[in-house]
Amino acid sequence: MKLSDAMTAAINDQIKAELDSAYIYLAMSAYFEDCGLSGMAHWMRKQYKEEVEHAEKFIDYLYERGARFIVPETAKPKESYENALDVFKTAYAHEQYVTSRIYKLVDMATAEKDYATLSMLKWYVDEQVEEEANAGGIVEKLEFLGGDKHGIYAVDRELSSR
C-alpha cells in the first residue's frame, strides 16, 4: 500500500520538527558551555543527537514506504536563557509540544486506517513518555534547588554521566 500524500507531507513536517528540536538542544548546549555548566551542555548535546536519530528514523520509514523526503529548512533556535531552570522548563514544554504533534499523527493514521504508520508511531509515543519524564524530572530538581549554586553544580555533575 502506498503512503498517502497527506501522510507523506505530515511525516516530512514531523522530520522538520525533529530537526528543529535537534537545533534547539544544540543551542541549549552552547548556552550551557558558555555558562561553564559542562555537564548540562553534555546532556543537551546527547539530546541533540537523539533528535537527529528521531528524524532519521522517520526518514528511513519514508524510504521504506517508497515516499519522498525533502530536506527541510530548519528554524533558528533561541540563543539565550535566564538560567538553567529556564532552559529545562523550555525543553520540557517543547517535549510536550512534540508529544501533541505525535498524537496528531496517530489520529491521522487512525483515520486513514494506515496500520503500518500506526505501528511505526508507537515507538514515538513511548519515546515521548521518556522524553517528558527526563526533562520534567530535571525541572523538578532545579525548582527544588531554587537557585542554590551548590545544588545546581551537583546536578551539572550528575548530568555529565548521561
CB 139 within 8 A of CB 85: yes
Window 11-40: residues binding Fe ion (CB under 5 A): 18
Name residues whose C-beta falls within 8 Å of residue 40's C-beta, 6 or more positions apart in sequence: 32, 84, 87, 155, 156, 159
Does residue 42 interact with Fe ion by CB under 5 A?
A: no
Stretch that binds Fe ion, among 6-14, 67-75, 127-135, 146-154 (CB under 5 A): 127-135
Q: How many residues bind Fe ion (CB under 5 A)?
A: 4
Stretch that binds Fe ion, among 7-15, 38-46, 50-58, 72-80 (CB under 5 A): 50-58
Interface residue with Fe ion among 16, 42, 54, 89 (CB under 5 A) is 54
Gap between the Cα atoms of 77 and 73, Å rounded: 12
Interface residue with Fe ion among 131, 134, 142, 155 (CB under 5 A) is 131
Stretch that binds Fe ion, among 26-34, 47-55, 114-122, 149-157 (CB under 5 A): 47-55
Burial 99-109 (b: 16+ CB within 10 A, else e): bebbeebbebb
State how far Cα 89 lies from the chain centre. 13
**Which positions lie near Fe ion, rule CB under 5 A?**
18, 51, 54, 131
